[in-house]
Amino acid sequence: MANFSIKHQPGFTAVATTCFVVLYMPIVVLVVYAFNAATSTSEWGGFSLKWFQSAWQNTQVIDATLLSFQIGSVAAVLATIAATMAALATTRTVPYRGLTFKYAAINQPLMVPEIVTGVALLIFFSRIKISTGYSGLGYLIAAHTAFCIPFAYLPIRARLENMDLTLERAAADLYATPWQVFRRITLPLLWPGILAGLMLAFVISLDDVVITEFVKSGGQDTLPTYMLGQIRRGITPEINAISTAFLLLSVAIVTLFFFVSRKQD
């Protein structure tokens, strides 16, 4: 019993190691094959950047990427503003009538499988499209904003609830108006939460396939819906290159998010 460690459980480390290897192996293979010179995806033809080049010159890919960023940034900003206001309205208060309703309403998009929201929006928006004739980006932005709100809300609310009220009270005692207190004290302290919420919302919007697939009008492919279409048609190394670039972007955002939310303590 010399090395008895209370934290050790037999086999757990092995399972955990396997899990991490299994989680990363497909991603690594995907990235490696993005640099494959061969046209076929099943053999290795030497190192090459040509698939990145071909993706870069593919106007459909560029258009889809730009559209993804456009929708993602507008939806993330709108969702974060709405979520910040909602978080201020639902934290640091005695329970009041309607509070539970608000929690339920804000979290509703999380509870419903995407496919159901997708067809619901398909029905609703197609009615509006017929009666108004408008088929622009508004629908996609509205849909993305709605499902991003709960994600933006989470870190903002967490931040608000952990915030110390003393500074705000002190400011109020020193005759600051409520607006001044918010502007000078609450908002600066809340900022990391807002930033984290904004990043989460952006990533969530960028990731969405299902709802976008059902809501989009012709010619409104985002990067994920474009990729889904391509994968269904057959695998080309170009998809690996696009995925790799997309992956790098996600890793960058996650890293940033990780540091922003760590800084809170």
Residue ranges in 157-196 that form contacts with other proteins under rule CB under 8 A: none
Among 2, 3, 11, 47, binds other proteins (CB under 8 A): 11
**Number of residues located near other proteins, criterion CB under 8 A:** 90
Q: Which residues contact 137 (CB under 8 A, 6 or more apart)?
A: 67, 70, 71, 220
Does residue 256 bind other proteins (CB under 8 A)?
Answer: no
Among 56, 134, 191, 258, binds other proteins (CB under 8 A): 258
Does residue 39 bind other proteins (CB under 8 A)?
Answer: no
DSSP-derived secondary structure letter, 43: S
Among 6, 164, 173, 218, binds other proteins (CB under 8 A): 6
Does residue 239 bind other proteins (CB under 8 A)?
Answer: yes
Q: Give the three-class secondary structure for 61.
A: helix
- Provide, rounded to whole angstroms, the least separation between the CB of residue 108 and other proteins: 5
- Provide, rounded to whole angstroms, the least separation between the CB of residue 250 and other proteins: 5
Inter-residue contact 71 to 137 (CB < 8 Å): yes
Does residue 207 bind other proteins (CB under 8 A)?
Answer: yes
Among residues 170 and 248, whose Cβ is nearest to other proteins? Answer: 248
- Provide, rounded to whole angstroms, the least separation between the CB of residue 200 and other proteins: 9
Among 62, 66, 115, 187, binds other proteins (CB under 8 A): 115
Does residue 114 bind other proteins (CB under 8 A)?
Answer: yes
CA distances from 246 to 56, 133, 139, 203, 249 (A): 13, 34, 24, 11, 5
Round to whole Å and give the CA distance between 37 and 49.
8
Inter-residue contact 215 to 225 (CB < 8 Å): no
Q: Give the three-class secondary structure for 36.
A: strand
Does residue 243 bind other proteins (CB under 8 A)?
Answer: yes
Binding mask 127-146 for other proteins (x = CB under 8 A): ---------------xx-xx
Among 27, 37, 49, 165, binds other proteins (CB under 8 A): 27
Does residue 95 bind other proteins (CB under 8 A)?
Answer: no
Round to whole Å and give the CA distance between 198 and 260.
11
Angle at the Cα of 219 from the Cα atoms of 127 and 140, rounded to 5 degrees: 50
Amino acid type, 6: I
